[in-house]
């Protein structure tokens, strides 16, 4: 990456709109953890982090889930560090056995939802006894892969803008941003 490109990355952060502070996100994650615990604490689930974007929300959720579960990951990408979606590319299939067990898929964002639908279908085909999804963010628009598509557990809803922070990237950067930010003009 050139200095000019790195300067653009810094400028994106400086000019971005803060949609949710880290305190607000923290509260939302607490609520998600309570709802997930109420549904799954007796189910012995396998929890899959969807890399890369799911990294932060999965880590922050896991320490709030105080019941027996196994944590693992899978890696699928549709945006490939750009700001528009393509077909889903599987980089790593689910890395733990889950046949006959409930599965919880954890990701940062349900945007159009093609990513989650494909991952959940895959888990069902491979024999999960039930498949649940938890997403930190649900984006409000009418381009969902299926009308009315929702995750079982959702942290926050946002307007239809391109966002970064808490695992979500801008051109591969700012997954570490401590809040949910919208890119100026997008």
Ligand X SMILES: O=P(O)(O)OC[C@H]1O[C@H](OP(=O)(O)OP(=O)(O)O)[C@H](O)[C@@H]1O
Residues that bind ligand GUN (CB under 6 A): 79, 109, 111, 162-164, 168-169
108 sits near ligand X (criterion: CB under 6 A): yes
Q: Which is nearer to ligand GUN, 21 or 81 (CB)?
A: 81
Sole residue written with tokens 């929702």: 150
Give the binding range for ligand X (CB under 6 A) out of 13-21, 32-40, 58-66, 103-111: 103-111
Q: Which is nearer to ligand GUN, 109 or 128 (CB)?
A: 109
Q: Which is nearer to ligand X, 41 or 149 (CB)?
A: 149
What is the residue-wise DSSP string for 81-146?
TSSS--S-EEEE--SS--TTSEEEEEEEEESS-HHHHHHHHHHHHTT-SEEEEEEEEEE-SS--SS
Pull the structure tokens for residue 161.
């803008």
Distance of CA 82 to the CA centre of its chain: 16
First to last CA, the chain: 22
Per-residue binding letters, 28-67, with ligand X (x by CB under 6 A) = ----------------------x-xx--------------
Contact assessment for residue 112 and residue 144, using Cβ atoms and an 8 Å cutoff: yes
Pick the binder of ligand X from 29, 111, 131, 156 (CB under 6 A). Answer: 111
Q: Which is nearer to ligand GUN, 69 or 119 (CB)?
A: 119
């Amino acid at each position: 990456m050139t200095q000019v490109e790195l300067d653009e990355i810094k400028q994106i952060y400086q000019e971005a709109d803060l949609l949710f502070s880290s305190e607000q996100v923290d509260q939302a994650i607490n609520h998600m953890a309570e709802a997930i615990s109420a549904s799954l604490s007796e189910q012995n689930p396998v929890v899959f982090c969807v890399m890369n974007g799911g990294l932060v929300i999965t880590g922050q959720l896991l320490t709030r889930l105080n019941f027996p579960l196994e944590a693992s990951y899978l890696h699928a990408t549709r945006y490939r560090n750009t700001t528009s979606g393509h077909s889903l590319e599987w980089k790593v299939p689910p890395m733990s056995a889950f046949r006959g067990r409930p599965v919880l898929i954890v990701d940062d964002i349900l945007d159009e939802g093609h990513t989650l639908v494909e991952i959940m279908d895959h888990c069902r085909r491979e024999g999960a006894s039930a498949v649940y999804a938890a997403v930190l963010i649900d984006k409000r628009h009418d381009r969902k892969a299926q009308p009315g598509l929702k995750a079982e557990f959702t942290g926050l809803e946002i307007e239809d803008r391109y966002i970064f922070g808490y695992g979500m990237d801008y051109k591969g950067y700012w997954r570490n941003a401590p809040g949910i930010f919208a890119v100026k003009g997008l």
